[in-house]
A and B are shown apart, each in its own frame.
Chain A
Amino acid sequence: MIEVKNLTKRYGAKLAVDNISFTAEESEILGFLGPNGAGKSTTMNILTGYLSSTEGQALINGIDILEDPVKAKALIGYLPEQPPLYLDMTVMEYLKFVYRLKKCKLPIASHLGEICELVKITEVKNRVIKNLSKGYKQRVGLAQALVGNPPVLILDEPTVGLDPKQIIEIRSLIKRLGKNHTVILSSHILPEVQAVCDKIVIINRGKIVANDNADKLVHNLSGDHKLTVRAEGNANDIKKLLSTIPDMRDVRINKENVEPGVSEFFLTANDGCDIRRDVSKRLASRNYPLLMMKSSELTLEEIFLKITTGDIYGHVDEDKDKNTNKKSSK
């Protein structure tokens, strides 16, 4: 379990990490999301004892990384942003070195063999690391973090440089590892975080701007009270018709004649109200064919942009803004 309490890191006058707190429970995968320079890597470096914090505390299974670094570090497998590889060694030599460095007790041959199988580097295990491609280097880096089977894994952008097939493999590997490890994973690939993580912490300019369950985060920010609808018929007539629905707050024509005679509408209902049935019934009662209806739930990309820049594609509704502010002030 990882506990971060009021962590602050200052580089001279620059505040890299500003009073952040979060926890990752056992068997939980926590996604750490943020634009470049947001403080993700700094936070991870502090968690692993590579850097010290200016203020605050980081606890690994209850052990303070600054108070008892050797004991705390023994619990962590760390894959930094740039995998820490000795380029002049072969993969196997390197893993054996890491094995000894971490003072592992597991049977060396079977343990390292298992890890090589897991991250699929068995076929290159006798090659010099210098000559490997970026994807293989990344996987050797991941293998290094797994040596000793530490209960806590901290992975800084683990899928960078991998091809799509490998990305899927590594993701499912991380998901599997998450069942009996505490994993913190940083990324700016949003679908990845959404696919893999139980919990998401979004960080921007050193501050946590969102910290929630992945699905909830998407749900809370957009909710299901916004719909995009396409119907055939006179746009203004349809607008008037839909406006009569009791819980409807706003109807806007997005575009007329998206297809011949078909218009697209943005509907906003009152909070917590499901108007889908009403919309369909009203349109049917007047014989306006309903051609499409989808909830305009934000994708994680949009949430991310919205939270980090306070804006999506240049226009944000007022109530959405309030919603975000509520979230970020939490």
Chain B
Amino acid sequence: MLAILKREFKAYFTSPLGYVFLAIFYAFSGVFFWVFTLDMGSTDMSSVFLMMFLVLMVFVPLLTMRLLAEDKKQKTDQLTLTAPVSLLGIVMGKFLAAYLIFAIGVAVMPLYGFVMSTFADVSWLPIFGNTVGLLLLGGIFVAGGLFVSSLTENQMIAAIGSFFINLMVLLLDTLVSQIPSGIFRTALESISVYSRYAEITSGIFSLSSVIFFLSVIFIFLFLTVRVLEKKRWA
């Protein structure tokens, strides 16, 4: 797993992909930070975090699209799948490599807080909570993207597919609001990633949310392993 993690992580910086993603992340978060926090004369960063949902939704697929799709296309999966490594090891290596890049992006958020603290008193607890929330959200997008990447050998399809899944995640709430209340609505509401995330940015950091996010990540990783496993049997 470590060998794959290391290779994939390095690969982000031998192509422009890693740089582009980080640049986009820093640019958007910087603009939001300026517009919603500095310019408004507020120390509340929750709007910045909420807006990052949209940015990640669009750009995390950039990060995950090639993970497994390119392996299949270049037939390098014949190396990884015939090496003495478990499927879970392969999937985790790929997941963590992309996730690490994402986490390097997120690391800038507390830095903004630090910048603010030179001007005013900053309440660190919400910033910390929001950062953890963003890390969890990113986990879902990365795992989801990895899953889609395992389904195709075309990077563009992988990117568009995972963007589509992310869009569905966002639109689920709009859909839910149109459904009359009942079990079905409650069920859909409780799997809404967006409202869970909004809850965290608004300052409610509950254990159930954390478990929810981790479960979704786990499900996507599990499904990815199954896809690789299924490929052998096809």
- For the complex, what is the distance from the CA of A84 to the CA of B80, rounded to whole Å? 9
Whether the Cβ atoms of A50 and B81 lie closer than 8 Å is yes
Whether the Cβ atoms of B11 and A48 lie closer than 8 Å is no
> Is A70 located at the chain interface by the 8 A CB criterion?
yes
Whether the Cβ atoms of A84 and B2 lie closer than 8 Å is no
> Is A78 located at the chain interface by the 8 A CB criterion?
yes
- For the complex, what is the distance from the CA of A186 to the CA of B81, rounded to whole Å? 20
Known: A73-B84, A88-B14, A103-B84. A97 touches B78 (CB 8 A): no
Whether the Cβ atoms of B6 and A86 lie closer than 8 Å is no
Most chain A beta carbons < 10 A, residue from B76, B82, B84: B82
> Is B119 located at the chain interface by the 8 A CB criterion?
no
- For the complex, what is the distance from the CA of A71 to the CA of B84, rounded to whole Å? 7
Whether the Cβ atoms of B78 and A84 lie closer than 8 Å is yes
B residues within 8 A CB of A49? 81-82, 232
What are 25 A-B residue pairs whose CB atoms fall within 8 Å in the complex? Answer: A45-B78, A49-B82, A51-B232, A71-B84, A74-B84, A76-B82, A78-B78, A80-B82, A82-B78, A85-B74, A85-B76, A86-B74, A86-B76, A87-B74, A88-B14, A89-B7, A97-B3, A100-B3, A100-B6, A101-B79, A101-B83, A101-B85, A102-B83, A102-B84, A103-B84
Task: Please classify how large the interface on chain A is, using the bins under 10, 10 to 19, 20 to 34, 35 or more.
Answer: 20 to 34
- Of all chain A residues, the one with the shortest Cβ separation from B229 is A52
B residues within 8 A CB of A51? 232
> Is A160 located at the chain interface by the 8 A CB criterion?
no
Interface residues of B (CB under 8 A from A): 2-4, 6-7, 10-11, 14-15, 74-86, 232-234
A residues within 8 A CB of B232? 49-52
> Is A290 located at the chain interface by the 8 A CB criterion?
no
B residues within 8 A CB of A80? 75, 78-79, 82
> Is A211 located at the chain interface by the 8 A CB criterion?
no
- For the complex, what is the distance from the CA of A95 to the CA of B110, rounded to whole Å? 39
Known: A74-B84, A88-B11. A101 touches B75 (CB 8 A): no
A residues within 8 A CB of B79? 78, 80, 84, 98, 101, 144
Closest-CB distance, A65 to chain B (whole angstroms): 10
Closest-CB distance, A242 to chain B (whole angstroms): 58
- For the complex, what is the distance from the CA of A74 to the CA of B7, rounded to whole Å? 20
- For the complex, what is the distance from the CA of A311 to the CA of B2, rounded to whole Å? 54
Interface residues of A (CB under 8 A from B): 11, 45, 48-52, 70-71, 73-74, 76, 78, 80, 82, 84-89, 93, 97-98, 100-103, 144
B residues within 8 A CB of A103? 84
- For the complex, what is the distance from the CA of A49 to the CA of B82, rounded to whole Å? 6
Whether the Cβ atoms of A88 and B78 lie closer than 8 Å is no
B residues within 8 A CB of A70? 84-86
Closest-CB distance, A59 to chain B (whole angstroms): 16
Tell me which of A52, A71, A84, A86 contacts B7 (CB under 8 A).
A86
A residues within 8 A CB of B15? 88
- For the complex, what is the distance from the CA of A144 to the CA of B234, rounded to whole Å? 27
- Of all chain B residues, the one with the shortest Cβ separation from A90 is B14
- Of all chain B residues, the one with the shortest Cβ separation from A73 is B84
- For the complex, what is the distance from the CA of A190 to the CA of B42, rounded to whole Å? 78
A residues within 8 A CB of B74? 84-87
Whether the Cβ atoms of B80 and A73 lie closer than 8 Å is no
Task: Please name the 6 residue pairs, one residue from A and one from B, whose CB atoms are nearest each other, closest first.
Answer: A100-B3, A84-B79, A74-B84, A48-B82, A80-B78, A101-B3
B residues within 8 A CB of A97? 3, 6-7
Additional pairs, 6, CB under 8 Å, beyond known A80-B75, A98-B79: A51-B232, A73-B82, A80-B78, A84-B75, A84-B79, A100-B6
A residues within 8 A CB of B14? 88-89
Tell me which of B6, B77, B86 contacts A84 (CB under 8 A).
B77
Tell me which of A50, A71, A98 contacts B78 (CB under 8 A).
A50
- For the complex, what is the distance from the CA of A87 to the CA of B76, rounded to whole Å? 10
- Of all chain B residues, the one with the shortest Cβ separation from A103 is B84
- Of all chain B residues, the one with the shortest Cβ separation from A144 is B79
- For the complex, what is the distance from the CA of A51 to the CA of B15, rounded to whole Å? 31
Closest-CB distance, B66 to chain A (whole angstroms): 11
- For the complex, what is the distance from the CA of A110 to the CA of B118, rounded to whole Å? 54
Whether the Cβ atoms of B78 and A100 lie closer than 8 Å is no
- Of all chain B residues, the one with the shortest Cβ separation from A12 is B234
- Of all chain B residues, the one with the shortest Cβ separation from A48 is B82
- For the complex, what is the distance from the CA of A226 to the CA of B50, rounded to whole Å? 87
Whether the Cβ atoms of B81 and A82 lie closer than 8 Å is no
- For the complex, what is the distance from the CA of A78 to the CA of B78, rounded to whole Å? 9
Closest-CB distance, A147 to chain B (whole angstroms): 10
- For the complex, what is the distance from the CA of A72 to the CA of B15, rounded to whole Å? 35
A residues within 8 A CB of B78? 45, 48, 50, 78, 80, 82, 84
Known: A84-B75, A88-B11, A88-B14. A101 touches B80 (CB 8 A): yes
Closest-CB distance, A272 to chain B (whole angstroms): 47
- For the complex, what is the distance from the CA of A78 to the CA of B77, rounded to whole Å? 12
Closest-CB distance, B35 to chain A (whole angstroms): 37
Most chain A beta carbons < 10 A, residue from B2, B77, B232: B232
- For the complex, what is the distance from the CA of A93 to the CA of B9, rounded to whole Å? 13
A residues within 8 A CB of B10? 93
Known: A52-B232, A73-B84, A74-B84. A82 touches B6 (CB 8 A): no
